[in-house]
Structure 1
Amino acid sequence: MPISASTRPRAPAERVPRGGARGWARWMFYAHLWLGIVTTALVLIICVTGVLLNHKRPLGLMPDVPNDAPGALAGSLPVAELAARAERAVPARVAAAGVDRMDVRPGNGLVKVRFDDAQVHEVTVDLASGRVLHVGLRNDVFLEKLHTGEIFGDGWVLLSDAAAVALAILVISGYWLWLYPRVRA
Protein backbone atom coordinates (compact mmCIF):
# COMPACT_ATOMS: atom_id res chain seq x y z
CA MET A 1 0.00 0.00 0.00
CA PRO A 2 1.52 3.33 -1.03
CA ILE A 3 2.08 5.95 1.61
CA SER A 4 0.18 9.13 0.97
CA ALA A 5 1.04 12.56 2.28
CA SER A 6 -1.78 12.34 4.80
CA THR A 7 -0.67 8.97 6.26
CA ARG A 8 3.07 9.66 6.29
CA PRO A 9 4.44 10.13 9.81
CA ARG A 10 5.36 13.69 10.58
CA ALA A 11 8.69 14.76 11.96
CA PRO A 12 8.47 16.51 15.29
CA ALA A 13 8.25 20.27 14.96
CA GLU A 14 11.61 21.98 15.14
CA ARG A 15 11.99 24.00 18.31
CA VAL A 16 12.41 27.65 17.35
CA PRO A 17 12.78 30.34 20.00
CA ARG A 18 9.86 32.74 20.05
CA GLY A 19 9.45 36.38 21.00
CA GLY A 20 12.19 37.73 23.26
CA ALA A 21 14.13 34.48 23.03
CA ARG A 22 14.67 35.07 19.31
CA GLY A 23 16.41 38.40 19.94
CA TRP A 24 18.38 36.88 22.81
CA ALA A 25 19.57 34.02 20.60
CA ARG A 26 20.69 36.42 17.91
CA TRP A 27 22.55 38.58 20.44
CA MET A 28 24.16 35.46 21.96
CA PHE A 29 25.27 34.28 18.51
CA TYR A 30 27.00 37.57 17.65
CA ALA A 31 28.50 37.98 21.12
CA HIS A 32 29.93 34.46 20.85
CA LEU A 33 31.21 35.14 17.33
CA TRP A 34 32.99 38.42 18.12
CA LEU A 35 34.38 37.36 21.49
CA GLY A 36 35.79 34.30 19.74
CA ILE A 37 37.40 36.39 17.03
CA VAL A 38 38.91 38.87 19.51
CA THR A 39 40.29 36.27 21.93
CA THR A 40 41.66 33.98 19.22
CA ALA A 41 44.93 35.91 18.91
CA LEU A 42 45.48 35.86 22.67
CA VAL A 43 44.73 32.15 22.93
CA LEU A 44 47.05 31.41 19.99
CA ILE A 45 49.92 33.35 21.63
CA ILE A 46 49.43 31.44 24.88
CA CYS A 47 49.24 28.10 23.04
CA VAL A 48 52.29 28.65 20.82
CA THR A 49 54.52 30.05 23.58
CA GLY A 50 53.40 27.25 25.89
CA VAL A 51 54.45 24.61 23.34
CA LEU A 52 57.79 26.38 22.77
CA LEU A 53 58.41 26.56 26.52
CA ASN A 54 57.64 22.85 26.87
CA HIS A 55 60.38 22.08 24.35
CA LYS A 56 62.85 24.89 25.08
CA ARG A 57 65.90 22.68 25.65
CA PRO A 58 65.62 20.62 22.39
CA LEU A 59 64.89 23.80 20.42
CA GLY A 60 68.06 25.45 21.75
CA LEU A 61 66.24 28.17 23.65
CA MET A 62 67.94 27.17 26.91
CA PRO A 63 71.71 26.73 27.16
CA ASP A 64 73.16 23.28 27.81
CA VAL A 65 75.58 23.72 30.72
CA PRO A 66 78.25 21.18 31.69
CA ASN A 67 78.48 20.65 35.42
CA ASP A 68 80.81 18.84 37.78
CA ALA A 69 79.66 16.18 40.21
CA PRO A 70 77.57 17.78 42.94
CA GLY A 71 79.41 18.58 46.13
CA ALA A 72 78.21 19.39 49.60
CA LEU A 73 76.39 22.72 49.85
CA ALA A 74 78.23 23.46 53.09
CA GLY A 75 81.51 23.55 51.14
CA SER A 76 80.27 26.08 48.60
CA LEU A 77 81.39 29.68 48.32
CA PRO A 78 79.23 32.47 49.80
CA VAL A 79 76.42 33.69 47.55
CA ALA A 80 77.88 37.22 47.42
CA GLU A 81 81.20 35.81 46.15
CA LEU A 82 79.42 33.73 43.49
CA ALA A 83 77.51 36.83 42.33
CA ALA A 84 80.75 38.85 42.19
CA ARG A 85 82.42 36.18 40.04
CA ALA A 86 79.43 36.17 37.70
CA GLU A 87 79.57 39.98 37.41
CA ARG A 88 83.26 39.79 36.46
CA ALA A 89 82.43 37.30 33.68
CA VAL A 90 80.11 39.65 31.77
CA PRO A 91 80.66 43.06 30.13
CA ALA A 92 80.45 46.08 32.45
CA ARG A 93 77.16 47.29 30.95
CA VAL A 94 75.54 43.93 31.77
CA ALA A 95 76.93 43.88 35.32
CA ALA A 96 75.71 47.47 35.79
CA ALA A 97 72.15 46.30 35.12
CA GLY A 98 72.34 44.26 38.30
CA VAL A 99 71.49 40.70 39.22
CA ASP A 100 67.86 39.80 38.54
CA ARG A 101 67.93 36.40 40.25
CA MET A 102 70.20 33.64 41.42
CA ASP A 103 69.04 30.06 40.97
CA VAL A 104 71.05 27.84 43.34
CA ARG A 105 71.00 24.18 42.34
CA PRO A 106 72.86 22.18 44.98
CA GLY A 107 71.92 18.90 43.30
CA ASN A 108 73.86 19.98 40.21
CA GLY A 109 76.57 21.82 42.12
CA LEU A 110 75.96 25.14 40.38
CA VAL A 111 74.27 28.51 40.60
CA LYS A 112 72.71 30.36 37.66
CA VAL A 113 73.02 34.13 37.92
CA ARG A 114 70.59 36.00 35.67
CA PHE A 115 71.16 39.69 34.98
CA ASP A 116 68.46 42.31 34.52
CA ASP A 117 69.77 43.61 31.18
CA ALA A 118 67.68 43.88 28.01
CA GLN A 119 69.19 40.76 26.44
CA VAL A 120 68.99 38.69 29.67
CA HIS A 121 72.52 37.38 30.16
CA GLU A 122 73.02 34.36 32.38
CA VAL A 123 76.22 33.10 34.00
CA THR A 124 76.53 29.60 35.43
CA VAL A 125 79.03 29.29 38.28
CA ASP A 126 80.27 26.19 40.11
CA LEU A 127 79.18 26.34 43.76
CA ALA A 128 82.33 24.84 45.25
CA SER A 129 85.14 26.30 43.15
CA GLY A 130 83.52 29.49 41.86
CA ARG A 131 84.65 28.58 38.34
CA VAL A 132 82.51 30.14 35.58
CA LEU A 133 80.99 27.27 33.59
CA HIS A 134 78.93 29.17 31.03
CA VAL A 135 78.19 32.73 29.95
CA GLY A 136 75.38 33.32 27.50
CA LEU A 137 71.93 34.61 26.71
CA ARG A 138 68.68 33.13 27.96
CA ASN A 139 66.67 32.96 24.74
CA ASP A 140 63.63 31.51 26.48
CA VAL A 141 63.06 34.48 28.80
CA PHE A 142 61.23 36.47 26.13
CA LEU A 143 58.90 33.51 25.54
CA GLU A 144 58.29 33.13 29.28
CA LYS A 145 57.50 36.83 29.63
CA LEU A 146 55.21 36.74 26.59
CA HIS A 147 53.46 33.59 27.83
CA THR A 148 52.90 34.90 31.35
CA GLY A 149 52.10 38.42 30.12
CA GLU A 150 54.91 39.99 32.15
CA ILE A 151 56.16 41.70 28.99
CA PHE A 152 52.98 43.81 28.85
CA GLY A 153 53.28 45.21 32.37
CA ASP A 154 50.70 45.51 35.12
CA GLY A 155 47.81 46.18 32.74
CA TRP A 156 48.15 42.59 31.58
CA VAL A 157 46.38 41.37 34.72
CA LEU A 158 43.21 43.20 33.72
CA LEU A 159 43.54 42.05 30.12
CA SER A 160 44.01 38.43 31.15
CA ASP A 161 41.02 38.72 33.51
CA ALA A 162 38.95 40.09 30.63
CA ALA A 163 40.15 37.24 28.42
CA ALA A 164 39.20 34.71 31.09
CA VAL A 165 35.71 36.23 31.40
CA ALA A 166 35.39 36.27 27.59
CA LEU A 167 36.40 32.60 27.39
CA ALA A 168 33.85 31.73 30.10
CA ILE A 169 31.16 33.58 28.13
CA LEU A 170 32.24 31.71 24.99
CA VAL A 171 31.85 28.39 26.75
CA ILE A 172 28.42 29.25 28.15
CA SER A 173 27.13 30.80 24.92
CA GLY A 174 28.63 27.96 22.88
CA TYR A 175 26.74 25.38 24.89
CA TRP A 176 23.60 27.50 24.72
CA LEU A 177 23.86 27.78 20.94
CA TRP A 178 24.53 24.06 20.66
CA LEU A 179 21.63 23.01 22.89
CA TYR A 180 19.06 25.33 21.29
CA PRO A 181 18.52 25.63 17.54
CA ARG A 182 19.85 28.59 15.69
CA VAL A 183 17.28 31.20 14.70
CA ARG A 184 16.62 31.06 10.99
CA ALA A 185 16.02 34.35 9.27
Structure 2
Amino acid sequence: MQTTKTVRTGPAEPRPKGGRRGWARWMFYSHLWLGVATTGIVLIICVTGVLLNHKRPLGLMPNVQNPKAGELPASLPIAELARRAEGAVPAQVAAAGIDRMDVRPGDGFVKVRFDDRAVHEVTLDLVTGRVLHAGERNDVFLEKLHSGEIFGEQGILLSDLAAVALAILVISGYWLWLYPRSRG
Protein backbone atom coordinates (compact mmCIF):
# COMPACT_ATOMS: atom_id res chain seq x y z
CA MET A 1 0.00 0.00 0.00
CA GLN A 2 1.41 3.33 -1.03
CA THR A 3 0.80 6.51 0.84
CA THR A 4 0.74 9.77 -0.94
CA LYS A 5 1.83 13.06 0.49
CA THR A 6 0.34 16.33 -0.48
CA VAL A 7 2.98 18.82 -1.29
CA ARG A 8 2.17 22.50 -1.49
CA THR A 9 4.02 24.30 -4.16
CA GLY A 10 3.20 27.88 -3.29
CA PRO A 11 3.38 30.04 -0.21
CA ALA A 12 0.84 29.23 2.50
CA GLU A 13 -2.13 31.53 2.60
CA PRO A 14 -1.75 33.91 5.52
CA ARG A 15 -4.56 33.95 8.04
CA PRO A 16 -6.15 37.36 8.23
CA LYS A 17 -5.16 39.22 11.36
CA GLY A 18 -7.04 42.22 12.54
CA GLY A 19 -9.87 43.59 10.48
CA ARG A 20 -13.41 42.42 11.03
CA ARG A 21 -12.40 38.90 12.05
CA GLY A 22 -9.95 40.15 14.69
CA TRP A 23 -12.54 42.58 16.02
CA ALA A 24 -15.12 39.80 16.24
CA ARG A 25 -12.71 37.53 18.12
CA TRP A 26 -11.79 40.36 20.55
CA MET A 27 -15.49 41.14 21.09
CA PHE A 28 -16.32 37.48 21.71
CA TYR A 29 -13.63 36.98 24.37
CA SER A 30 -14.31 40.34 26.00
CA HIS A 31 -18.00 39.49 26.20
CA LEU A 32 -17.26 36.02 27.55
CA TRP A 33 -14.84 37.04 30.32
CA LEU A 34 -16.75 40.16 31.36
CA GLY A 35 -19.81 37.94 31.70
CA VAL A 36 -17.93 35.35 33.74
CA ALA A 37 -16.41 38.01 36.00
CA THR A 38 -19.69 39.79 36.79
CA THR A 39 -22.14 36.89 36.88
CA GLY A 40 -22.31 36.61 40.68
CA ILE A 41 -22.83 40.31 41.28
CA VAL A 42 -25.46 40.60 38.56
CA LEU A 43 -27.33 37.56 39.92
CA ILE A 44 -27.41 39.11 43.44
CA ILE A 45 -28.74 42.37 42.01
CA CYS A 46 -31.39 40.48 39.99
CA VAL A 47 -32.63 38.30 42.86
CA THR A 48 -32.70 41.11 45.43
CA GLY A 49 -34.44 43.39 42.92
CA VAL A 50 -37.25 40.86 42.42
CA LEU A 51 -37.59 40.37 46.20
CA LEU A 52 -37.72 44.14 46.76
CA ASN A 53 -40.42 44.49 44.11
CA HIS A 54 -42.59 42.11 46.15
CA LYS A 55 -41.55 43.08 49.69
CA ARG A 56 -45.07 43.87 50.91
CA PRO A 57 -46.68 40.57 49.83
CA LEU A 58 -43.65 38.68 51.16
CA GLY A 59 -44.15 40.33 54.56
CA LEU A 60 -40.80 42.10 54.52
CA MET A 61 -42.37 45.54 54.96
CA PRO A 62 -45.33 46.55 57.11
CA ASN A 63 -48.46 47.78 55.36
CA VAL A 64 -49.42 50.82 57.43
CA GLN A 65 -52.78 52.49 56.87
CA ASN A 66 -53.68 55.96 58.15
CA PRO A 67 -57.38 56.53 57.50
CA LYS A 68 -57.42 60.12 58.80
CA ALA A 69 -54.57 61.73 56.85
CA GLY A 70 -54.29 65.39 57.85
CA GLU A 71 -52.99 68.36 55.94
CA LEU A 72 -49.22 68.98 55.91
CA PRO A 73 -49.44 72.54 57.37
CA ALA A 74 -51.20 71.08 60.43
CA SER A 75 -48.45 68.53 61.09
CA LEU A 76 -46.26 68.47 64.16
CA PRO A 77 -42.68 69.78 63.91
CA ILE A 78 -40.08 67.23 62.77
CA ALA A 79 -38.24 67.47 66.11
CA GLU A 80 -41.43 66.55 68.00
CA LEU A 81 -42.13 63.63 65.68
CA ALA A 82 -38.54 62.40 66.17
CA ARG A 83 -38.94 62.65 69.97
CA ARG A 84 -42.16 60.63 69.87
CA ALA A 85 -40.56 57.98 67.64
CA GLU A 86 -37.64 57.65 70.07
CA GLY A 87 -40.15 57.10 72.86
CA ALA A 88 -41.80 54.26 70.96
CA VAL A 89 -38.69 52.04 70.76
CA PRO A 90 -36.42 50.48 73.39
CA ALA A 91 -33.75 52.80 74.84
CA GLN A 92 -30.84 51.01 73.13
CA VAL A 93 -32.55 51.48 69.74
CA ALA A 94 -33.18 55.17 70.41
CA ALA A 95 -29.55 55.55 71.55
CA ALA A 96 -28.39 54.32 68.11
CA GLY A 97 -29.89 57.49 66.65
CA ILE A 98 -32.21 58.24 63.77
CA ASP A 99 -30.93 57.22 60.35
CA ARG A 100 -33.65 58.87 58.26
CA MET A 101 -37.16 60.24 58.29
CA ASP A 102 -39.43 59.59 55.32
CA VAL A 103 -42.28 62.10 55.31
CA ARG A 104 -45.31 61.05 53.25
CA PRO A 105 -47.78 63.97 53.25
CA GLY A 106 -50.23 62.23 50.91
CA ASP A 107 -50.55 59.33 53.36
CA GLY A 108 -50.39 61.60 56.41
CA PHE A 109 -47.49 59.85 58.13
CA VAL A 110 -43.75 59.90 58.67
CA LYS A 111 -41.53 56.81 58.85
CA VAL A 112 -38.64 57.20 61.28
CA ARG A 113 -35.86 54.65 60.70
CA PHE A 114 -33.25 54.07 63.38
CA ASP A 115 -29.58 53.29 62.82
CA ASP A 116 -29.54 50.18 65.01
CA ARG A 117 -28.37 46.76 63.85
CA ALA A 118 -31.89 45.33 63.46
CA VAL A 119 -33.13 48.55 61.76
CA HIS A 120 -36.25 49.49 63.71
CA GLU A 121 -38.81 51.81 62.20
CA VAL A 122 -41.63 53.79 63.75
CA THR A 123 -44.50 55.16 61.66
CA LEU A 124 -46.28 58.20 63.12
CA ASP A 125 -49.34 60.21 62.12
CA LEU A 126 -48.05 63.62 60.97
CA VAL A 127 -50.76 65.66 62.66
CA THR A 128 -51.39 63.81 65.94
CA GLY A 129 -48.03 62.12 66.43
CA ARG A 130 -49.85 58.86 67.19
CA VAL A 131 -47.72 55.73 66.67
CA LEU A 132 -49.22 53.73 63.81
CA HIS A 133 -46.56 51.01 63.72
CA ALA A 134 -43.28 50.18 65.45
CA GLY A 135 -41.01 47.28 64.62
CA GLU A 136 -38.10 45.93 62.61
CA ARG A 137 -37.78 46.48 58.87
CA ASN A 138 -36.94 43.12 57.35
CA ASP A 139 -36.29 44.51 53.87
CA VAL A 140 -33.40 46.81 54.76
CA PHE A 141 -30.83 44.01 54.46
CA LEU A 142 -32.09 43.32 50.92
CA GLU A 143 -31.97 47.03 50.03
CA LYS A 144 -28.39 47.32 51.25
CA LEU A 145 -27.34 44.11 49.49
CA HIS A 146 -29.05 45.22 46.28
CA SER A 147 -27.30 48.60 46.24
CA GLY A 148 -23.98 47.25 47.52
CA GLU A 149 -24.25 49.53 50.56
CA ILE A 150 -23.83 46.54 52.87
CA PHE A 151 -20.16 46.37 51.79
CA GLY A 152 -19.51 50.11 52.24
CA GLU A 153 -18.38 52.61 49.61
CA GLN A 154 -16.54 49.94 47.62
CA GLY A 155 -19.71 47.84 47.51
CA ILE A 156 -21.70 50.70 46.01
CA LEU A 157 -19.00 51.22 43.38
CA LEU A 158 -18.98 47.46 42.69
CA SER A 159 -22.75 47.55 42.16
CA ASP A 160 -22.31 50.49 39.77
CA LEU A 161 -19.55 48.59 37.96
CA ALA A 162 -21.85 45.57 37.61
CA ALA A 163 -24.53 47.81 36.07
CA VAL A 164 -22.04 49.20 33.54
CA ALA A 165 -20.78 45.66 32.81
CA LEU A 166 -24.36 44.49 32.25
CA ALA A 167 -24.93 47.31 29.76
CA ILE A 168 -21.71 46.39 27.93
CA LEU A 169 -22.73 42.72 27.91
CA VAL A 170 -26.12 43.55 26.39
CA ILE A 171 -24.57 45.73 23.68
CA SER A 172 -21.77 43.29 22.86
CA GLY A 173 -24.22 40.37 22.95
CA TYR A 174 -26.40 42.03 20.37
CA TRP A 175 -23.32 42.81 18.28
CA LEU A 176 -22.15 39.20 18.46
CA TRP A 177 -25.61 38.05 17.43
CA LEU A 178 -25.95 40.55 14.56
CA TYR A 179 -22.37 40.35 13.24
CA PRO A 180 -22.67 36.93 11.51
CA ARG A 181 -25.99 37.99 9.97
CA SER A 182 -24.53 41.21 8.59
CA ARG A 183 -21.85 39.34 6.65
CA GLY A 184 -24.11 37.50 4.53
Q: How does 1:148-167 map to 2 (within 5 A)?
A: 148-167=147-166
Alpha-carbon RMSD: 2.3
Map of 1:136 onto structure 2: 135
For structure 1, which segment, 158-167 or 144-153, has the greater mean C-alpha deviation from structure 2 after superposition?
158-167
Note closer, same or farther for the CA distance 1:169–1:76 as it changes in structure 2 (3 Å cut): closer
For structure 1, which segment, 97-106 or 172-181, has the greater mean C-alpha deviation from structure 2 after superposition?
172-181
Map of 1:10 onto structure 2: none
SS of aligned partner of 1:118? coil
Deviation at 1:29, TM superposition (A): 2.6
SS of aligned partner of 1:70? coil
Q: 1:20 aligns with which of 12, 18, 21?
A: 18
CA distances 1:22-67 after superposition (whole Å, capped 9, x unpaired) = 5554443322212111212222112111111111111111102232
Q: How does 1:15-54 map to 2 (within 5 A)?
A: 18-21=16-19, 24-54=23-53
For structure 1, which segment, 166-175 or 27-36, has the greater mean C-alpha deviation from structure 2 after superposition?
166-175
CA distances 1:111-163 after superposition (whole Å, capped 9, x unpaired) = 11111111110001122222211111111111112222222221235424543
Q: How does 1:52-91 map to 2 (within 5 A)?
A: 52-91=51-90
**Structure 2 unaligned spans of 5+:** 1-14
Is 1:101 aligned to 2:89, yes or no?
no
Question: What CA distance in whole angstroms lies between the structure 2 residues aligned with 1:173 and 1:108?
Answer: 45
Task: Give the share of equivalent positions with the same residue, in percent.
Answer: 78
Note closer, same or farther for the CA distance 1:113–1:30 as it changes in structure 2 (3 Å cut): same
TM-score (norm 2): 0.77
Bigger RCO (CA 8 Å, 6+ sep): 1
Question: What CA distance in whole angstroms lies between the structure 2 residues aligned with 1:176 and 1:138?
Answer: 43
> Contact 2:147–2:156 (CA<8 Å) still a contact in 1?
no
Map of 1:146 onto structure 2: 145
Deviation at 1:97, TM superposition (A): 0.8
Letter in 2 for 1:106: P
Letter in 2 for 1:65: V
> When the two structures are aligned, how many residues end up with a matched partner?
165
Question: What CA distance in whole angstroms lies between the structure 1 residues aligned with 2:102 and 2:54?
Answer: 20
CA distances 1:78-135 after superposition (whole Å, capped 9, x unpaired) = 2211111110111111101111111122222221111111111000112222221111
Question: What CA distance in whole angstroms lies between the structure 1 residues aligned with 2:170 and 2:74?
Answer: 56
TM-score (norm 1): 0.76
